[in-house]
Amino acid sequence: MDLFRVENLTFSYPQAEKKALDGVSLTIKSGEFAVLCGQSGCGKTTLLKMLKRELSPHGVRQGNVRYNGTELGDLDERSAACEIGFVMQNPENQVVTDKVWHELAFGPESMGLATDVIRRRVGEMASFFGIQAWFRGNTGELSGGQKQLLNLASVMVMQPKVLILDEPTSQLDPIAASDFITTLGKLNRELGLTIILAEHRLEEVFPAADKVLVMEEGKVLLCGLPREIGRQLRAISPKHPMLAGLPSAVRIFSGLNIDDACPLTVKDGRRFLSAHFTGAIDRVEIPEYTHSQIIAAEMKNVWFRYGRDLPDVLRGVSFTVYQGESFCVLGGNGTGKTTALNVLAGLNQAYRGKIVIGGKKIKEYKGNELYRHNIALLPQNPQTVFLKNNVREDFDEICKVMEYSAAERDALIAEIAVQLGIAHLTDKHPYDLSGGEQQKCALAKMLLLKPKILLLDEPTKGIDAFAKQTLSGILRGLKAQGITVIIVTHDVEFACENSDRCALFFDGEIVSADTPNSFFAENNFYTSSANRISRHIYKNAVTCDEVIELCKRNYEAAHEQ
Amino acid sequence: MRAFESVHPAAAFAYFISVLLVAMFTAHPVLLCEALLGAVLFCAILSAKGFWKNMASYVPLFAIIALSNPLFSHNGVTMLFFLNGNPVTLEAVLYGADIAVMLIAVIYWFQCYSFVMTSDKFLYLFGKAIPKLSLVLSMALRFIPLFKAQLIRVNRAQKAMGLYSGKSFTDKLRSAGRVLLALITWSLENAVETGDSMRARGYGLHGRSHFALFRFTGRDGVLLGISAALTGLTLTGRALGGADFAFYPRITGISTAPLSLAVYLAFGALTLLPFIIETEESLKWTYFVSKI
């Protein structure tokens, strides 16, 4: 039975020239797990909001959306609100009340259920989602993952027939994201719940999905089984930008021209490689890594805690970053990575140890000297960087502080705008930009400081695969300019591609540091999916491209004989 | 979790109101001393850690209030000595001490109140009467920590760019203003999403109900009954003149008539009620533990 039937839906926002949705048709069957993917700005969010009447944006629309055979607009208020559940991107903003139990009860209260019924439903949901431990807690004290789980539970407590989720894991760390996706899979499998999920982190989603829809510029480009999407995308264009966002197994598969079923998981990927490729050539040749001998930043045995009676967050952190190097610090949540970055940026003072930046102790920098042509920190949330009504005003302000002349300022802003590809964004309000755009603009503001060392805190949070690639390109450009980059991230794949050296942060200190290929090749768990897929054959391939290259070379070698 | 914290909000609220009403509108030293004793004991049980620290700050407060009265009030007939040509009377000194006892007792009771009557309990009580208000309050309580956290984040981000960290007062004021302005935009932006989330979950449908975790049990009924009876006794006794006391012009003696004794006893029992409940509970626990 078709739960949703969208026919020829076209939509444009008021005063927008481009159509946000252009002749979209699709059907979602009852009990289906459908995944919607595409670059940011392709109309995913608009499409999802058109499926939930309360959230449908204003604008010019044609075509129709039928829910259970009824036009969505004709559905009675109660069913429209209760039967279609919607979870949004930002975990923080969806939480309405201050107590966890009250948040869970919010939906049933709106439905006007009696206290006893609410009590039972809330109890049921809290048990299903494992919320009991913090049931009576304050919502403000929850972690991002817990908040998003609470948002999901407080929608599920209304017993919806279909669940729509708009990039629910984009603000979560990988472990919380994976837990969240697992929970969705469980809801789909165990309750037969229909799920429509827009997502750009597809590694875990693909194996659970029944159907994948790829959107591009307001149109549904492809619609098919997860196993077929990779090949179909390649058929459209071998360099299609969406390919970069697919799971590693799919990427490796679609990079090789082999007639077999497409693997979706690491397990299938390993089987696939074993069946088709040999390990005659078992490692990629990496030119030996050499770095400059000049030390850009150094931490020696640094200890830090937030209060006298609080536990130590940094316990003797020591590392050295050389000039022009790109250094990635990886590690789980709450290990102190971000704190280390803040200490390095002079935002927190270490109580023991030595920090040297540009050959000078951090304590010897007076006033704002440290932030003038020395160090710049791009925070996790790029919104915090902007205070003005448009991006250009923010840029001007920083130029004024840096005492650039008017000509110098205009030239510099123009140059950086071209370098980062943000020239068309400078007149917009910072909050009107997408996550990736916001980040590029924030980065531009940092570059106006002309730093020698750039610190990035979780730069891949909330941005899609395509924006990630753009960011990688920008970082390569900065490296070519001789800027030292220190990145703190959860994102193993991003670290593989963007670092000269990687380090693992654990328990308040750096436990190992090495070039990415040796670093990840030696890790068993904490490594890229491409490495996990290929490690039984190839010794040091960490990115999909490296695996594909090795496979091809082995294939050619085998066929020459 | 203290026993009194698990009392139904209605019973707890009624209890606090009755004690505070009596304590705030009497000057009778016995009643006030009882109020102070009850509050101190209750407070000590509720927050054993912060108790002594608090105590230290109340001693000077007590002294200031008690000593300032005779400096300004020269009523009373028993002259002690002259200060700058003004008489200092025994009555004024004692009245000062009496008022100080009352104020500190009330402060202690409010401390216990804020400990026991958390925001959710208050909302539960008054939410039924004004459902919208209770939701707004709950949302505000949710929003304040969110706003604070973002304020810290913005300040740090700006500091790391070497902005808004001027040393002079006017600089600080100006930068604080700018950050605040940006934060208001930020909160409006977020409020749109929160609103969406509410509407998506059916807010605005007809016939919204009101849910709370609290259940009114027999125990709560008994507590409510006892405190009502004791308060009634105290107030009736007072109305019949059982708790009359005057400081000026001359201190009247503390009455030991049966009616007065009954008032003292009733109010004493009322103020000690939480302490008795808590003690009983902890004794029970010791007994349980020893049995295990």
The predicted-structure confidence for B149-167, as pLDDT tens digits, reads as follows: 899 999 888 888 877 666 7
A257 Rama class: left (phi>0) / alpha (psi -120 to 50) / beta = beta
Q: Which residue shows structure tokens 């395509």?
A: A466
Q: At B2, list the tokens.
A: 């203290």
Residue in A272, A202, A196, A271 with CA at minimum distance from that of residue A243:
A202
Q: B209 to chain A: which residues are within 8 Å by CB?
A: 108-109, 111-115, 118
CB contact under 8 A, B211 and A431: no
Domain positions in chain A are 2-224
Q: How far is B216 from chain A (nearest CA, A)?
A: 13
Shortest distance between the Cα of B5 and any Cα of chain A, in A, equals 14
Whether A397 sits inside 8 A of B163 (CB atoms) is yes
> Chain A partners of B141 at a C-beta cutoff of 8 Å?
98
Confirm if A441 and A474 have CB atoms less than 8 A apart.
Answer: no
Which of B124, B151, B211 is the best residue to mutate to test the A interface, defined by the most A CB atoms within 10 Å of its own CB?
B211
Sign for the pseudo-dihedral over CA of A380, A383, A388, A391: positive
Say whether the peptide bond before residue A430 is cis (omega within 30 degrees of 0): no
Find, among B241, B239, B243, the residue nearest to B268 by Cα.
B243
How much of chain B, in percent, has pLDDT values that exceed 90? 35
Residue B109, token pair as written in the block: 């009771």
Q: What residues pair up with B88 in beta bridges, in sequence order?
A: B81
**Measured between alpha carbons, how far is A173 from A142 in angstroms, rounded to an integer?**
14
Asked if A54's CB is within 8 angstroms of B199's CB, the reply is yes
Residue A17: in which H helix or E strand, if any?
none
Looking at the complex, report in whole angstroms how far the Cα of residue A534 sits from the nearest Cα belonging to chain B: 41
pLDDT at A561: 66
Task: Choose among A560, A471, A557: nearest CA to A279.
Answer: A557
Yes or no, beta carbons of A54 and B159 under 8 Å apart: no
Contact flag A94-B193 (C-beta cutoff 8 Å): yes
Task: State residue B58's pLDDT score.
Answer: 86
- Please indicate if any CB of chain A lies within 8 Å of the CB of B158: yes
Mean pLDDT of B139-152: 88
pLDDT of residue B189: 87
Question: What's residue B197's pLDDT?
Answer: 93
The span from the CA of B159 to the CA of B163, in Å, is: 5
Cross-chain residue pair A140–B186, CB shorter than 8 Å: no
Contacts of B207 in chain A (CB under 8 A): 112
- Judged by CB atoms closer than 8 Å, whether chains meet at B161 and A446 is answered as yes
Per CB-CB distance under 8 Å, the chain B contacts of A370 are: 162
A251 class by beta-carbon count within 10 Å (0-12 exposed, 13-18 middle, 19+ buried): buried
Q: Do A78 and B205 touch (CB under 8 A)?
A: yes
Candidates 1.10.10.10, 3.40.50.300, 2.60.40.650, 3.40.640.10; CATH matching A2-224: 3.40.50.300
- β-pairing, A484-489 with A453-457? parallel
In chain B, residues with a C-beta closer than 8 Å to the C-beta of A78 are 202, 205
Q: Do A371 and B162 touch (CB under 8 A)?
A: yes
Give A-chain residues touching B195 at CB under 8 angstroms.
Answer: none
CB contact (8 A) between residue A377 and residue B160 = yes
Question: Tokens 């200890």 identify what position?
Answer: A303
H-only helix segments in B25-130: 29-46, 48-72, 90-116, 119-127
Give me the pLDDT at residue A71, please: 92
CA distance A357 to chain B (A): 15
Top residue of A378, A387, A448 to mutate, by most chain B CBs within 10 Å, is A387
**Chain A touched by B151 (CB under 8 Å):** no
Residues of A whose CB is below 8 A from B202: 78, 81-82, 107, 110-111, 158
- Nearest Cα of chain B lies from the Cα of A140 at a distance, in angstroms, of 7
Residue B205: the pLDDT is 87
Helix (H, G, I), strand (E, B) or coil at A196: strand
Q: Which residue on chain B is closest to A387 by alpha carbon? A: B182
Q: Which residues of B touch A384 (CB under 8 A)?
A: 150, 153-154, 156-158
* Cα A234 to Cα A237: distance, rounded to the nearest angstrom: 5
Under an 8 A CB cutoff, do A98 and B142 touch? yes
**A395 — contact with chain B (CB < 8 Å)?**
no
Residues 104-123 of B with CB under 8 A from A: 119-120
pLDDT tens sequence across B42-93:
988 887 667 777 788 888 888 888 888 888 888 888 888 888 888 888 889 9
Q: Is B252 on the interface with A (CB under 8 A)?
A: no
pLDDT average per 10 residues of sequence, chain A (561 residues): 91 89 94 92 91 92 92 91 93 90 92 93 93 90 92 96 94 89 94 94 91 93 90 84 88 86 92 89 85 91 91 93 93 86 91 91 85 90 89 90 88 90 88 87 91 92 85 91 93 90 91 89 86 90 91 87 66
Q: How far is B117 from chain A (nearest CA, A)?
A: 15
Sign, CA torsion A211/A217/A219/A221: negative
